Structure 1
Amino acid sequence: MDTSSSKPGQPSLSTRDLSIRFGGHVAVNAVSADFYPGTLTVIVGPNGAGKTTYFNLVSGQLQATSGRVFLRGRDITGFGPARRTRLGIGRAFQLTNLFPHLTVLENVRLAVQSRVGIGLSMLSLWSGHRDVIARAEHYLERVAMAGKRNAWVGTLSHGDQRKLEVAILLALEPEIMMFDEPTAGMSVDEVPVVLDLIHQVKAERRRTVLLVEHKMDVVRALADRIVVLHNGTLVADGEPATVMQSQIVQEAYLGTPEPA
């Protein structure tokens, strides 16, 4: 099933027959999908289905064996992750990707500087640096991390590192936001902060949001659309209520119910 053809306008992100092979193993198999502004798509599937690998192909951490990736109609297949980030694809990783020997504030400040194009030159205006710090603090407040602004990142709990990654992603202000299991490893108390932020981003209806998630309550709460991968192949794509009830999802992802 595929609802993408009913969406108006040009997709912000597309993949066409996107594939990658590791030796004889096809990890992602000819996946074609369009993603549109204002839509939050959750990508689900059993362990080993190819979800994170597909994310890595989109964000540039992996180069495809075949197929193409398009951003606003532009072929970016050959671009690396740094160039894709500059063009508007932001990614929060399943495993944190931070600077452990810098403070929390410094990590976010670097993201803000990258976004606004301010370097570390002594010729930069101090007022500009004050603005950068103020913006960095704003994003830390959004993830409830302002109280730890001066803490070394290497000393943070796993949950706090995940929240910091979300702050960095927000600071980059990307057109495409990609979250790979954003609540993985978080305590029950920490999860609502990140989920509320994703709700806020979704409510703005400006960005294209892609989310890999295992927790079905999170999927139901956030998804405008669900894409299902199984053995690297796209097997379902559509509105949550329809996809969740499909036989292939019941069998491949949720598991077949045991007889009474």
Structure 2
Amino acid sequence: MPATPALETRDLTIRFGGHVAVNAVSCAFHPGTLTAIVGPNGAGKTTYFNLISGQLKATAGSVLLRGHDVSGLTASARTKRGMGRAFQLTNLFPNLTVMENVRLAVQSRAGAGLQLLQLWSHRRDLIEKADSLLESVKLLEKRNAMAGALPHGDQRKLEVALLLALEPDVFMFDEPTAGMSVDEVPTVLDLIHGIKARGDKTVLLVEHKMDVVRSLADRIIVLHNGTLVADGEPATVIASPVVQEAYLGISPEAAGQTMGEAAR
């Protein structure tokens, strides 16, 4: 494992008035790993994500990307440095087509600008890249549909395609399967598993569904009231009685049964 983490937070803290939403959280994340961030509602998971990606400015502490302090950079500047974020609520251009959404991301990554019409018709390679991304999320047949008219599950898949188009070093997924039907979930999970399997990307995942966490994560960190209370391999963290009862809402008996089923 590289000595310098791909991403690191050091004593990352944010206060809203007298409320400490994230309390001195220090964690390092390395390429080739997928870390699930779990905890009850209001634990600070999404706020922690917002601090890392630059949507919120920390009260104290720092965020480092490949060893460089990016705490003072905007969210867009962090994206240019290799940090990619998929939101709990979709973050699309609703009045553009599915293809137009993806092609803008592809053009941006290729340094070809963000024009809707200029250059695009002359860059067959970019068109093929966009089509390939839409195929990977099973949206190619909806390439001409308006993004805002898509069902919620398809909007989530489109957002994953946009994130893939940017080719970040650090992928951040905030409940990527929220609002999806049972049939749609495997498409996104397979994509995330593929990103992790490449071995050169760092993946952070906020997720409530423990079956999703078990299937993807090789590390779990648990937040409660903004404080890091557990950090380790999934089996160890899930088996901890204090995590089962206080932080994951799972009784020890149910967790033991679930772990036994997972092992079979």
Q: Which TM-score band applies after superposition, normalised by the shorter structure? A: over 0.9
Find the counterpart in structure 1 of residue 155 from structure 2: 161
Partners of 2:120 and 2:137 lie apart in 1 by 28
Quote the Cα distance in structure 2 between the aligned partners of 1:254 and 1:86: 35
Distance 1:150 1:259 in 2: 50
AA aligned to 1:112 is V
* Residue deviations 1:51-76 (CA, integer Å, cap 9, x gap): 00000000000000110000001000
What is the CA RMSD across the aligned residues, in angstroms? 1.8
Deviations 1:218-255 (A, max 9, x none): 00000110010000000111111111111321122233
Q: CA deviation at 1:204?
A: 1.1
If the length of structure 1 is used for normalisation, what is the TM-score? 0.93
Q: What TM-score, normalized by structure 2, do the two folds share?
A: 0.92
C-alpha contact (below 8 Å) 1:12/1:73 kept by paired residues: yes
Q: Residue 52 of structure 1: which of 39, 46, 55 is its match?
A: 46
Partner of residue 212, structure 2: 218
Do structure 1's residue 208 and structure 2's residue 208 form an aligned pair?
Answer: no
Separation in structure 1 between the aligned mates of residue 250 and residue 121 of structure 2, nearest angstrom: 61
Query: May I ask how many residue pairs the two structures share in their alignment?
Result: 253
Match of 2:145 among 143, 151, 155: 151
Q: In the alignment, what sits opposite 2:104?
A: 110
> In 2, Cα distance between the equivalents of 1:8 and 1:81?
25
Distance 1:125-1:211 versus aligned 2 partners, 3 A rule? closer
Task: State the shift of 1:121 in Å.
Answer: 9.3
Aligned residue type for 2:195 = V
Counterpart pick for 1:246 among 240, 246, 249: 240
Give the equivalent residue in structure 1 for 2:259. none
1:144–1:125 distance in 2 versus 1, CA, 3 Å: closer
Shift of 1:123: 7.4
User: CA, structure 1 residues 116+248, in 2 after alignment: closer, same or farther (shift >3 Å)?
Assistant: same
Deviations 1:129-188, CA, capped at 9 Å, x for gaps: 221111111100000000000000111000000000000000000000000000000011
1:178-193 to 2 correspondences below 5 Å: 178-193=172-187
Provide closer, same or farther for how the CA distance between residues 181 and 125 of structure 1 changes in structure 2, counting only shifts above 3 A. closer
**Identical positions, percent:** 70
| Partner-residue secondary structure (3-state), 1:113 | helix
Distance 1:187 1:257 in 2: 27
What residue number does 1:67 align with? Answer: 61
Residues of 2 paired with 1:18 and 1:114: CA distance?
30
Match of 1:38, SS state, is coil
The one-letter amino acid of 1:14's match is: E
Contact 1:17 1:66 in 2 (8 A): yes
Look up the match of 2:134: 140
**Distance 1:39-1:258 versus aligned 2 partners, 3 A rule:** closer
| Unaligned 5+ runs, structure 1 | 1-6
Unaligned runs of 5+ in 2: 255-264
CA distance in 1, matches of 2:73, 2:93: 24
Following superposition, which runs of at least 4 residues in structure 1 exceed 6 angstroms of deviation? none
Distance in 2 of aligned mates of 1:218 and 1:113: 32
Contact 1:15–1:33 under 8 Å retained in 2: yes
**Distance of 2:102 and 2:118 partners within structure 1:** 21
Q: Deviations over 1:70-107 (max 9, x none)?
A: 00010000101100000000000000000000000000
Q: CA deviation at 1:122?
A: 8.0
